[in-house]
Amino acid sequence: MNELDEMRKVDAARWRVAIALTAAMMVLYFGFILLIAYDKPLLATLVTPGLSVGMLSGALVIVAAWALIWIYVRWANLHYDAAVDAIRRRR
Amino acid sequence: MNSVGESNIVAIAGFFIFIGVSLGITFVAARRTRTTEQFYAAGRSVTGLQNGLALAGDYMSAASFLGIAGLVALSGFDGLIYSIGFLVGWPVVMFLIAEPLRNLGKYTFSDVVAFRLRQTPVRVAAAVGSLAVVAFYLIAQMVGAGNLIRLLFGMNYEVAVMIVGAVMLAYVLFGGMIATTWVQIVKAVLLLLGAFLLAAVALSKFGFNPLALFRAAAERYGPTVLAPGRLVSDPLDALSLGLALMLGTAGLPHILMRFYTVPDAKTARSSVTYATAFIGFFYLLTFILGFGAMVLVGQDKIRSIDAGGNMAAPLLAEALGGQAFLGFICAVAFATILAVVAGLTLAGAAALSHDIWVNVVRGGSPYEGEELRVARMSTVVLAVAAIILGIAFKGQNVAYMVGLAFAIAASANFPALVLSIFWRRFTTRAAQVSMLGGTAASLGLIYLSPTIQIDILKNSAAMFPLRNPGLVSIPLSFALAIVVALLWPEPAAQAGFADVQQRVHVGVDHVTDRVP
C-alpha cells in the first residue's frame, strides 16, 4: 500500500470515529433538551424521594460526556497514534 | 445577619494576595516573553495537565460559579440545563477541533480557516467574528466584576470596573500567554478547591448524602424544584439555547487559542480530557451549592440581596463559615473574573495584531519585532474598550450575555472552522460569507429578540420570537457556506485540501517544506 492510500485510510477512520462520537453526544443532549421541552411530567417523576428522573438523566448526560471522551482517547492512543507514527516513520 | 455589601477584611486580604501573587507571576513571565511565540503561545511548552487546568480556568467564568449556583438556588432543576449545556460543548471540541487545530495553525483559529484559502478576506472576516464574540463575553465579565466588587467590598461600580481593567492589562501586556496561563491555573485550582470545600461543608449538614439535601429542598419549596419549570417555558427557546451552548464552545477564540500553547496534538488531546473532567466536576458541585443555598440560606434572603440570585454561593459560605469563609469565596470569585478577562483580551489582541495587522496590512511579513509591539498596543486598546463597555452596559444580566456570546461564536466561527477542516469544496468566498453572515445574523436577531425589543426598548412585540438566535443563525451560517461554495467553486482551494488531509494528522513539525 502506498503512502497516499494509507493516509486516506487513517483520515477516513479518524473522521468516522469523530463523527460517530459527536452524533452520540448530540443525540443524548438533544434528547434531554427535547424531554425538557415536550415531556416535563416524565422528568418530574421521582426515582426515590429527593431524586427526579430529570436530575438523574441530567447527571447521566455529564457522565456520558466523560465516557465518550474516554472512548475517544482510548481509541486514539491505541490505534490512531500508531497509524500516524507509522506514516511519519516512512518519510 | 449578613454582611454582603460591607467591607470584609478576609475578602480584601484574599483579593490583594491574589493580585500580588498573579503580578509576581507576571513579573517572572515578563522576562520569558520576548518573542511573538512566547507572547501568544507561551512558547508551546505548556503540559496537558497545565493546559487542562488553564482551559477549565478560561471556561469556568463567574457567570457559571455565581450565576448557575444562583439559578439553581432560585429555580432548582432549571439551573442544571445551563450546567449541562456548558459541558457538552467539550466532547465536540475534542472529536472535531482540538487536534486538527493544533496541527494546522500557529496562533489563532483563522490560521486554520485561511490555511488553503486566500489570506486577506478570510483573516478580516475571522477577526470580525472573533472580536464580536470577545466583546460580548468581555461585557458579561466586566459587568459581573463590577457588580461583584460593589456587593462584596462596598466599592463604587465604576471604580471596580477600572481596577479589573488595569490589573488585567498588567498581566497581558507584560506577561502575555505565559502569565495568562499561570493566572488561569492558579484561579482554576482555587475555584475548584473553594467550590469543593463549600459543597463538602454544605453536604456535611445532610450526612454527606446529596439525596437528603434534595429531599430537604423539595420538602421546603415543593416537589417542583426537582422538575423542569418555567425557565424554559418555550420548547424552541430551550433548543436554541442548547444548540448555541453545545457548538459555541468550539468557536470561542480564547479557548481555541489555548491549543497552540501545547507542544503537539497528543497534548492537545490530553488537555481536553483534563479540562472536561474538571469542568464536569465543577458543574456537579455548583448543583450542590445551589440546592445548599436554597435550603441553608433560603430563597427569600438570596433574592433580597440580589434579584438574579447571583450572591447565592457567597451567602452559603457566610451561613456555613461566617466572615472568613465568605471572604475566601469572594476572593476566589474575583480571581475568576480577572483571569477570564485576561484570556479574552489576549484572544482579542491576537485577532487585531496577528490576523489584521500582520497578515492583512503587512501581507504576512512584518518588520522585526513589529507583531509583538502591535499585539501590546492592541492589548491597551482592548483594555480601555473593556472598561468603557463594562461601564456602558451596567445592569445587564450576566449569564444571558454569555449565552449570546456562545451563539455568536457558534454562528460566526464554528461552521467555517469545521468546513475548512472537513470539506474539500470549501472556498474563500464561502468562508467570508459564512463568518460575516453568521456574525450579522446573530447580532441582528439578538436586536430583534424579545429581550432587546420588549425588555429593554419597551416595545409591545418583537419581530423574532427566540431569546437566543442559535437555532436560526447557526444553520443559516452553514447553509450560506455550502450554497456559496457550490455556486462559485475555487479550484486552488480544492487542490490544497490534500495538504490539509495530511497535516491534520501528521502536523507541521514533521514537514519542512512549508510552515503556515
* pLDDT tens string B144-188: 788 777 767 777 888 888 888 888 888 888 878 888 888 889 889
Q: Does B505 touch chain A (CB under 8 A)?
A: yes
Q: What angle do CA B75, B234, A57 make, to 5 degrees?
A: 55
Shortest distance between the Cα of A81 and any Cα of chain B, in A, equals 8
Q: CA angle, B73 as apex, B67 and B75 as ends, to 5°?
A: 95
Chain-chain contact of A43 with B92 (C-beta, under 8 angstroms)? no
Alpha carbon distance B405, B117 (integer Å): 26
Residue in chain A closest to B220 (alpha carbons) equals: A50
* CB-based contact, B92 to chain A, within 8 Å: yes
| 206-245 of B, contacting A, C-beta below 8 A | 211-215, 218, 223-224, 226-228, 232, 235-236, 238-239, 242
Q: Where are the domains of chain B?
A: 9-403
**What is the DSSP-derived secondary structure letter of residue A49?**
T
Q: Which of B91, B213, B228 sits opposite A43 (nearest CB)?
A: B228
Contact B413/B477 with Cβ under 8 angstroms?
no
> Cell for B124?
478580516
Q: Which residue of B has its CA nearest to A52?
A: B226
List CB contacts (< 8 A) between B504 and chain A. 11
- Domain B9-403 in this protein, CATH class: mainly alpha
- Residues of chain B positioned with their CB less than 8 A from the CB of A32: 84
Contacts of A27 in chain B (CB under 8 A): none
Question: How far does the CA of residue B81 sit from the closest CA of chain A (Å)?
Answer: 8
Q: Rg of chain A's alpha carbons, rounded to an integer?
A: 20
**Letter for the amino acid at B115?**
F
Of the pLDDT bands very low, low, confident and very high (cuts 50, 70, 90), residue B512 is: very low
CB-based contact, A8 to chain B, within 8 Å: yes
Touching A: B residues 97-156, CB under 8 Å = none
Q: Which one has a higher pLDDT value, B446 or B61?
A: B446
Q: Cα–Cα distance between B147 and B314 in angstroms, integer?
A: 13
Low-confidence winner among A50-64, B9-23, B112-126 (lowest mean pLDDT): B9-23
For A50, nearest residue in chain B (alpha carbons)? B215
CA distance B275 to chain A (A): 11
Query: How far apart are the C-alpha atoms of A47 and A51, rounded to whole Å?
Result: 6
Q: A81 is written with which cell numbers?
A: 497514534
Contact A33 B239 (CB under 8 A): yes
Q: Tell me the average pLDDT across B231-239.
A: 76
Nearest-neighbour CA in chain B from A43: distance (Å): 6
Cα–Cα distance, B353 to B187 (Å, whole number): 27
Q: At A51, phi and psi to the nearest 5?
A: -135, 115
At A52, which helix (H) or strand (E)?
strand A51-52
pLDDT at residue B471 is higher than 90? yes
Note whether B410 and B248 are within 8 A (CB). Answer: yes
Looking at the complex, does the CB of residue B497 fall below 8 Å from at least one CB of chain A? no
Between B391 and B516, the more confident residue is B391
Residue from A55, A62, A52, A53 nearest A25 by CA:
A62
Cβ atoms of residues B305 and B5 within 8 Å: yes
Sign for the CA dihedral angle at B250, B254, B260, B264 comes to negative
Window B:182-211, CB contacts with A under 8 Å: 211
Average pLDDT in the B419-434 region? 93
Is B256 in the A-facing interface, judged by CB distances under 8 Å? Answer: no
Is the ipTM, as predicted for this complex, more than 0.85? yes
**Percentage with pLDDT > 70 across chain B:** 94
Best residue of A9, A46, A48, A52 to probe chain B, by most B CBs closer than 10 Å: A52
Q: What percent of chain B has pLDDT over 90?
A: 30
- The mean pLDDT of A14-40, rounded to a whole number, is 91
Residue A63 has pLDDT above 90, yes or no: yes
